Chains A and B, each alone.
Chain A
Amino acid sequence: MSLFAGVSGGAADAASGVGTGRALLELTPHKMAVCQLVQVFAPPAQAGGDVVPPFPFESLAHHNRLGLFLFTLTRSCEDFLEPPLEEFLRQLKAVDNLANGWFCEQLTSSLSALNSPDDLFNFFDKLRGVLTAPEGASAEDVFLDPNSQLGVFLRCCILAFNSMTFEGVCHLLADLVMYCNSTDASYDLAEDEDFNSEMGNLMDADIGSQVGIFDKFHQGYASERHMGESSSALTRAPTSTYYFDDANIFKADDNPTCLRSRWQLEAYLNQQADILEKDPGSVPLNSFNATMTQLQTLAPELHRVQFLQYLNALCHDDYVASLDNLHRYFDYSAGMQGLFGRSVSQVQDIVVGKYESALLCLGNLHCYFGHPKKALEAFAEAVRVSQMNNDDSCLAYVLGAISNLLSKIGISNTVGIISSPYSLGTNIGLGTPLSIQQQLLVLLKRSLKRADALKLASLLSFDHLSLAKFDLKHVQRPLVSFGPNASTKLRTCPADVIKNLRLGSLVLTDFGADVLSTSNDNGSFSTSWLRNLSAASDSWRRSSKNTKKLHINDFDDFHYHAQPSPVPAPILQLAGSAYLLRATAWEHYGSAPMVRMNALVYATCFADAASSSELSLAYVKLIQQLAVFKGYSAAFCALKLAEKKFPSSTSLHIQLLGMQILHERALHRGHLKVAQQICDEFGVLSSSVSGVDIELKTEFSVRRARTLLAAKQFSQAAAVASSLFSTCYKYNMQVENASILLLLAEIHKKSDNAVLALPCALASQSFCKSFNLDLLEASATLTLAELWLALGSSHAKKALSLVYQSLPMILGHGGLELRARAHIILAKCHLSDPKFSVLEDPEAVLDPLNQATEDLQALEYHEMAAEAYYLKAMAYNHLGKLDEREEAAARFKDHVTALENPQNEEDSLAY
């Protein structure tokens, strides 16, 4: 029975990851301690000693537990420094509690017995015995497979020792002595305080700018002192389960500062990068930088640290620092090492760390900071360089990035944001100049083709998703558009969207099948196993002192965070965004349940892998649905919860959502000042640079028009709406135009200009039809019905039929407001129909009105509620039900006064 034979795959890639370094790993006291334990775990074969389990172990489970512990020690990546002996012993105790601390004693005694270089030679000599199978060993014998993780580790250690110079041996010995002594040393913090207080004195004496510099230094010192904490506090575990006693802060001076193995370092960096992406808010800029600087001084040739510093600066919106770090990283590493060896497959996705990828990153940086023009220049250069260097995969990525950029910024095709004649058109070989949308489509298709040919599954999936996104908004014109008749036919194609969405996920499942066969160990499992272990022992230790501090079940915690997911996180992320995109698509096509379902799927199934911005988007969608279907109070409750999760300072999505809901409510309540204020805030948020944040700009204009409309400034509202219409037209945003036309119709309708409104409404309706915006179409139909009604009672029949036509859609998918409107119009149609008599069929009027008032209550929509009560009062009047009439009239009056004399306007800003 060879132990851990199954993990040899992981060991192999650990060895290959080291590259051409002089030794596979550097020997440190900690590694020697692990070696010593391995020796205990699998003792050198003794003649006839076939006891299973070997001596100190009480059971096989106990034996395996130590094995697992040792395995995780070589794989965990919670920090870049190796733990001091004390910490190590504490972890060991958790494994050891059965053998009454035998391991610990054995370990410390055997390590402190090593006093001369010769002892070290003997130590490693003995280690060799562990690996050699005893003569005549049968298959049942316990021995360490030299190809297992631990076997490889042992062999690396022995090799490292054998290739060591005498100086190296001396250093190792000195380090070992220091390592062993670090447990006994009493920690006099007095010295530190001393120093601090002295610095304080000096700071008082200091003058001018020196104070600032000094201050910085002071902080730097502090963070350094808590290094052990800060660097591990960054990891995702709830910090409460993992912290040192204050008294146990080890000082770097007492301990040899030994780096972990290269594999562990890289896993650590990858982990940090993941955290930065998932939750940038949780990573403090300066202390993270301090940690990274420390790592860098320990390993100056590990240039990935600079990349992390770049990421960190990027996440904290530090333009200058991120630019500097980006350039520094690529200056050092271009052509030397891959960016992150995180792709598990042997064929690397993208051979990064080259100059073209530097440009790709630079472009992304500019894109992130909102410099589309610079980003495009960088991407264009990236295309050139990768073509020059025949780097197809990078080219594919760049194309993907460009299309991402183009879809993010709606660039008008008339205003040349790419002003140079060598714009994308000619540069990327598109030949004739095309509009941005056309360029985008061509780029996407090219990227898709390339990714397909190169088998870059994640890029392929990304491209499919981008195509879906593109199709969602894109209005197709028929290919042959000659002649006056042909050119008018516009349509969107939902089938394409869904096709691309499904293809996107399909590609990933193919990819998954490939990947799952190989090992997917990024060290996180080992890390959390170990952390959980120390947390458990920690809590046990604490509970003996202070029962109140007993933690909640740590093991749950472990299971929740550390299940090694069979699917790599980036894949999960892409798969998740497909769901998010589906939700968006259904938002457009108008199916509320589908929106809810997809957003829920995303929030529940993909939350682990999602980046904070995407996850917050899913929350936003869910809360929007709540606001529309359940009213504002429910939405605000949910929003508060979401804000706890994503502080609005870090998440633009959440911030916008809050403002949207507040604006809606203020409009409904008739709090115009508040509405105006929020509207202005929108204006501030939307960038003044042309082409950037085009969606935000549109939203700002729409809200402005609506605010003006509510303030009954019709001509101004109409002006805003029509200028918005022309902007959208210019930027080729036809889908938005459908709703803008409807808004225009609404404005004209409110200004009692039904004749002007009618063409707008009709146009909107036909837009909606061809763009498959079903819900919006129903809403347009309703408006149309209202307009017919406004033209005179003779059109009541026609209006009624229109309402009936839209009712199924509205009742199935519409929100509270839309339903209420439909009901009111229905009642109005009946009432204005001269052939209809209330006395004959009172329910036909009263039922919808009751429904409407109920819905409007949740929305606090005074204007419409007043209308509904008015109609109700009229109906009751006809029916001769005076009490009910009076009641309805009173409610009517309430709403009208609330609308005309808005009170507690300030309340509208709070939630």
Chain B
Amino acid sequence: MASAKETYRAELRAAARQLGERCLYSAAKWAAELLVGVEPDASPVPSAAMDTPSSSSATSAGRLLHLHRSGGSSFRHRPRPGGGTSSEAGTPLGGVSYVSTPIPDDDAFDSGGDKYLLAKTYFDCREYRRAAHVLQKQVGRKTVFLRCYALYMAGEKRKEAEMIELEGSLGKSNAVNQELVALEKELSTHRRTGSIDSFGLYLYGIVLRDKGCEGLARTILVESVNSYPWNWSAWSELQSLCTSSDILNNLNLKNHWMKDFFLASAYLELKMHEEALKRYERLMGVFRCSGYIQAQIATVRYSMRDLDEAEMIFEDLLRTDPFRVDSMDIYSNLLYAKESLTALSFLAHRVFLTDKYLPESCCIIANYYSLKGQHEKSVLYFQRALKLNRKYLSAWTLMGHEYVELKNTPAAIDAYRRAVDINPRDFRAWYGLGQIYEMMGMPFYALHYFRKSSYLQPNDARLWIAMAQCYESDPLQMIEEAIKCYERAANSNDTEGIALHQLAKLHGMLGQSEEAAFYYKKDLERMEVEERQGQNFVEALLFLAKHYKSIGRFEEAEHYCTRLLDYTGPEKETAKNMLQGIKRLQSGFPSMDTDHFAL
């Protein structure tokens, strides 16, 4: 199947060049990265246009070797669907064959080739208006695109500046990209006359998105990726416009292999982790060395709370690509969750040296400070991250957490609320809001937020437990609702085992001893499996002993009582008394027993 891989390579090589020529830097970067990520063939790679064969094969071989070295991890050992047999790699998922899209020839330097060159150099130097000015009155799709793109970028740059200049007492003023109207007018005419290429469509799509015409923007972007699928920027813009799985499923996309990347990333965003993982692992079969896919898989793993696995992948990734900052903020979250201070500080130091003015870097440093317990500093760095990127969702949420630690409730609420307004599907921020209001003694008010978060993440036991605790709290005392929530929590893999214990206790409080016994028993089993002991264990034993005694099943009661004897404390005495009482009852003593005084 070397030929299939070779096609991928050829396509990506051409794409990286074409994208780079159009100054679509990040898409070009993405394509080039992926190009290097294609699993090398056994035979030496034939010399390609762009890179020298020796260096490329050397690096990739080294990477492969390295991957084998870390083969102890389950990550390497997991059967990779499509990975073992390379024949599958070429065939797409679900047996549908990919539509091969011809690589468009670059309309070679048409009339104003030299001017284009000049414009591109201006663009590279970020002198956008000059670039656009040079290309005035030039025709040809490529020139038109670059001119429009330069104008768009000039407008964006101006907008950024204006955002700060125009900040009034009522918040940000309506700084808009001034070029949007003209661009939209021009691009729509081009589109109508058919003299637009897929890059122009991509630009038209983002212009429309910026104007708030999301539906139309989606249509245009779909057109763009259908005609030129290697532009990852177009895909990611499209993905940001797919806010629900319905929208995603209704897209009319051609079945190119790039679509798999898109779908996987969209699934990740929509929290359909299983599907995302499946797709990424298949893609991994072809693009064995792609750092991007590794990082995405690690992100999925992290979102599925599979921390060890994810950490392993991130470590690998950092070893091969030490100056990577992309998705390292997720790695830092992971390290935070695992409380590994040293690793986090190491990571923070590294990204700090790489580029300290990236929002991700700031976020990593903030995480470090947070783990250190220095919340003021942490807030400072989160604020810096947010200055760099106002829409940096996780930073808002995390900053909310920091404010909670600082006991600054209004600020925390504000931060969380902003996170929620940026992305209403961020269950962590909803959860945070709920927690704050609960802390403020407003459990009823908090319920609304917990409801929102558990609606978004229905299989997360922590959310249900939080909600149940609200219902159970002193002021509300809505036990029945609490029981319902705990049941949900118990059914969705509650690792801490709070739900079962609470269920048992609440049923006990309501006098429903059958149910209580059921849950105590389950809780007991769980604790036995996890080899955990403690007060809850004793409590469960005691209740079960009493319960079985009261319903006359003395054998079970005896069993639990004897187990209780292993523990010290007042329960032991109670158990002894009960055992005596049971014996007496079994030997047919009349009701003169006194053991119920001991209870």
Contact = CB atoms under 8 A, between A and B. Distances in A.
Interface in A372-390: 377-378, 380-381, 384-385, 388
A217 B421 contact: no
Contacts of A482: none
Interface of A: 18, 21-23, 26, 165, 167-168, 171, 191, 195, 198-199, 202, 205-210, 213-214, 217, 220-221, 253, 257, 259, 262, 265, 297-302, 323, 327-328, 331-332, 334-336, 355, 358-359, 362, 377-378, 380-381, 384-385, 388, 420-422, 427
A709 B166 CA distance: 75
B169 A381 contact: no
Looking at chain A's contact residues, the main secondary structure is helix
Given A209-B246, A209-B247, A422-B475, A299 B445 contact: no
Contacts of B373: none
Contacts of B337: none
Contact of B444 (A21, A167, A359): A359
B192 to A, nearest CB: 7
A317 B474 CA distance: 32
A207 B477 contact: no
A262 B170 CA distance: 8
Contacts of A23: 168-169
Nearest to A358: B445
B218 A210 contact: yes
Given A199-B216, A253-B181, A385 B441 contact: yes
Given A422-B475, A427-B475, A377 B444 contact: yes
B433 A214 contact: no
Given A210-B218, A214-B215, A422-B474, A21 B188 contact: no
Given A331-B413, A332-B414, A380-B475, A208 B250 contact: yes
B577 to A, nearest CB: 32
B417 interface: yes
A323 to B, nearest CB: 7
Contacts of A199: 216
Interface of B: 161-162, 165-166, 168-174, 181, 185, 188, 192, 212-216, 218-219, 246-247, 250, 252, 410, 413-414, 416-417, 421, 433, 437, 440-445, 448-449, 474-478
B506 to A, nearest CB: 14
Contacts of B185: 191
Smallest CB-CB A-B distances: 5 pairs: A21-B169, A301-B171, A299-B170, A300-B171, A331-B417
Contacts of A300: 170-172
Contacts of B192: 198
Given A171-B166, A377-B444, A381-B442, A257 B174 contact: yes
Contacts of A362: 444-445
A297 B170 CA distance: 10
A206 B214 CA distance: 13
10 contacts: A18-B169, A165-B165, A210-B247, A210-B250, A331-B417, A335-B410, A336-B410, A384-B475, A385-B441, A422-B476
Contacts of B478: 420
B477 A420 contact: yes
A664 B410 CA distance: 58
A22 B167 CA distance: 10
Given A206-B219, A301-B170, A422-B474, 9 more contacts: A22-B168, A26-B169, A208-B250, A265-B170, A298-B174, A331-B433, A332-B417, A377-B444, A381-B444
A433 to B, nearest CB: 15
Nearest to B174: A298
Contacts of A195: 188
Nearest to A419: B478
Contacts of B247: 209-210, 213
B440 A327 contact: no
Contact of A207 (B250, B410, B414, B448): B250
Contacts of A209: 246-247, 250
Contact of B441 (A198, A217, A221, A384): A384
A775 B474 CA distance: 51
A207 B181 contact: no
B417 A202 contact: no
B216 A167 contact: no
A445 B474 CA distance: 27
A67 to B, nearest CB: 28
Contacts of A331: 413-414, 416-417, 433
B453 to A, nearest CB: 13
Given A202-B216, A207-B252, A302 B171 contact: yes
B173, B181, B247, B416, most chain A CB atoms within 10 A:
B173
Contacts of B173: 298
Nearest to A423: B477
Given A362-B445, A381-B445, A213 B477 contact: no
B413 A217 contact: no
A334 B414 CA distance: 9
Contact of A262 (B162, B169, B172, B444): B169
A427 B250 CA distance: 53
B213 A217 contact: yes
A294 to B, nearest CB: 9
Nearest to A19: B169
A217 B417 contact: no
A377 B470 CA distance: 13
B69 to A, nearest CB: 50
A356 to B, nearest CB: 9
Nearest to B167: A22
A165 B172 CA distance: 16
Given A327-B448, A359-B444, A384-B475, A217 B216 contact: yes
Given A198-B192, A209-B250, A422 B170 contact: no
Given A198-B192, A327-B448, A259 B476 contact: no
Nearest to B480: A419
Nearest to B182: A253
B168, B172, B214, most chain A CB atoms within 10 A:
B168
Nearest to B192: A198
A359 B250 contact: no
A328 B421 contact: yes
B215 A381 contact: no
A26 to B, nearest CB: 5
Contacts of A334: 410, 413
A91 to B, nearest CB: 25
Contacts of A221: 213
A18 B168 CA distance: 12
Contacts of B214: 213, 217
Nearest to A168: B165
Contacts of A214: 215-216
Nearest to B162: A171
A298 B171 CA distance: 8
Contacts of B216: 199, 202, 214, 217
Contacts of A202: 216, 219
A50 to B, nearest CB: 41
A214 B444 CA distance: 38
A698 B335 CA distance: 65
A262 B168 CA distance: 11
Contacts of B448: 323, 327
A501 to B, nearest CB: 35
Contacts of A210: 215, 218-219, 247, 250
Contacts of B174: 257, 297-298
Contacts of A206: 215, 219
Contacts of A205: 219
A739 to B, nearest CB: 39
Contacts of A427: 475
Contacts of A259: 168, 170
A221 B417 CA distance: 27
Contacts of B445: 355, 358-359, 362, 378, 381
A335 B436 CA distance: 15
B172, B445, B474, most chain A CB atoms within 10 A:
B445
A171 B165 contact: yes
